[in-house]
Amino acid sequence: MKKTDKAAYQKRLDRIADLFSGMVAQAEVQSQHRCPYRNRHDQCTAKFRCRNQRPPAADDDPAICAHDAELEYRSAWETDPSNYRRAKAKIKKIKTASLARRGRQDPGETGD
Ligand code: SF4
């Protein structure tokens, strides 16, 4: 078996660290301008409402992101907690109705 050359090994580790630190720096710069929910087709993949969303070309497609990358994109995100609570309540109501149709009870409400 070949003996490991510690100097060569360290040189490779340093090279890998250099590569990754460059990627991280680039990602950090890009994250200040490009929303993480915007995919490479300029579609929005967010599961919440945002003022930058525009109707998609086809009904089944995700919304189009209209953000111009000039201003801070996070201020357009829907952050109203009452919307979140309404959505959670609606989901719970649908789940309860679905379980009731099947003659079952929500396991979270048994009190056990
Ligand atoms: S529409 Fe809003 S949430 Fe969606 S990708 Fe664009 S900026 Fe991000």
* Residue 24 belongs to a domain: yes
Mean predicted confidence (pLDDT) in 8-34:
89
The residue to mutate among 41, 51, 53, 64, having the most atoms of ligand 1 within 8 angstroms of its beta carbon, is 53
CA 71 to chain centre: 20
Q: How confident is the model at residue 68 (pLDDT cuts 50, 70, 90)?
A: confident
* Residue 44 belongs to a domain: no
* Residue 14 belongs to a domain: yes
* Residue 62 belongs to a domain: no
The residue to mutate among 30, 32, 44, having the most atoms of ligand 1 within 8 angstroms of its beta carbon, is 44
Residue 50 CB neighbours (<10 A): 20
* Residue 107 belongs to a domain: no
* Residue 96 belongs to a domain: no
Closest CA to 49 of 34, 60, 65: 65
Distance 91 CA to ligand 1 centre (A): 24
Q: How confident is the model at residue 9 (pLDDT cuts 50, 70, 90)?
A: very high
| Spatial distance between the Cα atoms of 79 and 73, rounded to a whole number of angstroms | 13
* Residue 25 belongs to a domain: yes
Domain, as residue range, for 14: 7-34
Task: From the CA of 64, give the closest atom in ligand 1.
Answer: 1
Percent with pLDDT over 90 in the chain: 35
Count up the domains in the chain and report the number: 1
Please tell me whether residue 2 adopts helix, strand or coil conformation.
coil
* Residue 49 belongs to a domain: no
Contact indicator for 65, 38 with CB cutoff of 8 Å:
yes
